Amino acid sequence: MAYKYIDNYREKGARKLLVEELKKKGIDDENVLAAIGKVKRHYFFDETFWNQAYKDIAFPIGEGQTISQPYTVAYQSQLLHINKGDKVLEIGTGSGYQTCVLLELGAKVYTIERQEKLYNHTRQVLPHIGYKANFFVGDGSIGIAKHAPYDKIIVTAGAPTVPDVLLKQLKIGGILVIPVGDEHSQKMVTIIKVAEHDYEKIVLDTFRFVPLVGDKAW
């Protein structure tokens, strides 16, 4: 792929404008805004489409999948309340853009993608642009038991229900952020594990994600 990892004044300027746009749309966590301001989203696009990289839109990344809209990435990141050193499980690596935002927030990231082509692409690109995560290929709807428990879990694809197994893999005090609904629209759901069998659930705004496909999903 003809990627040139160059951050020109044009991209820097566009990134600043994107951060301003997200602020206007209600993102108010300064750490999240700073992380969005740091991650060079155009590196996830073919050079031909760099003029699209800082628009607040999702964009095709191949295999019928998309790089998430920056607003959605910021929104989910904000709900996770990342503390430096948090162990985060990300389900749906995709392009790795959300992964990089989590890494900029100081998280230690375990990320899983079911599509082998995307997994192979992203695990090569991220170290190349300066980001280190732990990459896995497979069905993330069952989590990754081997590395549990996690401080935070983020699901970046739409699920029909909240998989119980993900709640089991959360630490006490941990947070799960997951879009839940049908194939057309999902509500963003935040679940806080307050005790071993006690959860607080908050249902938030409506989004449209690609489906979470797997054993505990579609």
Site string for ligand SAM, 118-137 (x = CB under 6 A): x-------------------
141 noted as active-site residue = no
State yes or no: residue 77 binds ligand SAM (CB under 6 A).
no
SS3 7: coil
Sign of the Cα pseudo-torsion (83, 88, 93, 96, in order): positive
Site string for ligand SAM, 143-162 (x = CB under 6 A): -------------xx-----
State yes or no: residue 213 binds ligand SAM (CB under 6 A).
yes
CA R_g for the chain:
16
User: Among 77, 78, 141, 186, which residue sits at the site for ligand SAM (rule: CB under 6 A)?
Assistant: 141
Q: Which stretch binds ligand SAM (CB under 6 A): 4-12, 21-29, 91-99, 160-168?
A: 91-99
- Cβ atoms 203, 189 nearer than 8 A: yes
138 closest CA partner among 102, 96, 91, 89 = 91
State yes or no: residue 186 binds ligand SAM (CB under 6 A).
no
State yes or no: residue 212 binds ligand SAM (CB under 6 A).
yes
- Cβ atoms 135, 119 nearer than 8 A: yes
32 closest CA partner among 76, 89, 95, 67 = 76
Query: Applying CB under 6 A, which residues contact ligand SAM?
Result: 65-68, 73, 91-92, 94-95, 97-98, 112-115, 118, 139-141, 156-157, 209-210, 212-214, 217
